[in-house]
Amino acid sequence: MSTVVSTHDLTKYYGRTPGIIDISLSIREGEMFGLIGPQGAGKTTLIRSLLGLLKCGNGEISIFGLDLMMDRKEILTDIGYVPMSPSFYPWMTVDEVLTYASSFFKKETGEKELLALFNLKSDKKIETLSSGELKALSLVQSLMHEPKLLLLDEPTKGLDPMMKERAYELLKKSNAHGTTILLSSESIPEVQRLCRRVGIMKQGRMLNTEDMKTFKEKKLKKIIIYFSQKPGVTKFKKKKIGNLVVKNNMLKFLYTGEINDILAQLSQENIIDITIEQPDINEMFLHYFRD
């Protein structure tokens, strides 16, 4: 299987502030690869660098086996891109935006079916669209020419639940037809649902890449417990418990073990209420990468 995206020691600084540092990444043909990390991790900088929108101070980028700087025009004809905050000329209609975009491609485009999927009217002015409709339009524009590579920066942010489900199914269908996808997200469940492999970023660095199966096996949960009186914390200071917080009668921590084991332990306590939920991205990073 060939490599579609390859970077070596990619580094970009904004003045003295690092955007990305020494990013070496390889994404295989037909893969759906996820990037996760908190705000400021460098995900957007990496994607914009892969498009040639940002010039890196150091490193190499190869896409489709071609050098990005030497063959950018050829490369871009086979790429679809959804930015985090898409913007279009406000005086144009949806149809005018897509007609203009299609002029850059050498193939037939299939925007009509995609517009119908998101209930977008072709005669609507851009200035009348909601933020979710703008994101949906960006998805349509990115997919209408059946690109070989999709670069997606928070592609479902701003979509309502129904539109989000349609976007997920559309991305899975596109990937099944051979499109390679790089998806950046702050949503762990979204990346777990869609991607086979994940890159974990923090402060501009790629901390690790791993298969989603391995990532899921970490089973990280956030547990919040309310006791009838202030709890003793000594018994909760164990290997699989982290980020322990005590506030009055409330105990909160992140847990990587088997849920049945912790519930068995808690059954001995006088509990008023308990909540078990998925931690947010920042809590996850505090737990796994606090060092």
Q: Are 162 and 12 spatial neighbours (Cβ–Cβ below 8 Å)? A: no
Alpha-carbon gap, residue 217 to 257, rounded angstroms: 10
Identify the three-state secondary structure at position 121. Answer: coil
Domain limits of the chain? 3-215, 221-288
Task: Write the pLDDT tens digit of every residue in 54-64.
Answer: 999 899 999 99
pLDDT of residue 194: 92
- Is pLDDT at 285 greater than 70 in this prediction? no
- Is pLDDT at 69 greater than 60 in this prediction? yes
Regarding the domain delimited by 3-215, which CATH topology (the fold level of the hierarchy) does it fall under? Rossmann fold (3.40.50)
User: Maximum distance among all alpha carbons in the chain?
Assistant: 69
pLDDT of residue 239: 60
Identify the three-state secondary structure at position 108. Answer: coil
* Structure-derived torsion over alpha carbons of residues 218, 221, 227, 229, reported in degrees to the nearest 10: 60
**Of the listed ranges 174-178, 205-209, 281-285, the one predicted with least confidence:** 281-285
pLDDT of residue 291: 46
Inter-CA distances, 123 with 82, 118, 127, 135, 143, Å:
22, 14, 12, 17, 20
Mean residue pLDDT across the chain = 88
- Is pLDDT at 250 greater than 60 in this prediction? yes
Mean pLDDT of 272-281: 83
* 32: its two tokens: 């759906």
Read off the pTM: 0.81
> 218 or 84: which carries more pLDDT confidence?
84
Alpha-carbon gap, residue 39 to 55, rounded angstroms: 21
> 75 or 188: which carries more pLDDT confidence?
75
**Of the listed ranges 10-14, 162-166, 234-238, the one predicted with least confidence:** 234-238
Alpha-carbon gap, residue 259 to 14, rounded angstroms: 44
Confidence category of residue 46, pLDDT binned at 50, 70, 90: very high
Task: Write the pLDDT tens digit of every residue in 95-148.
Answer: 999 999 888 877 767 788 899 999 999 999 999 999 999 999 999 999 999 999
Mean pLDDT of 191-217: 85
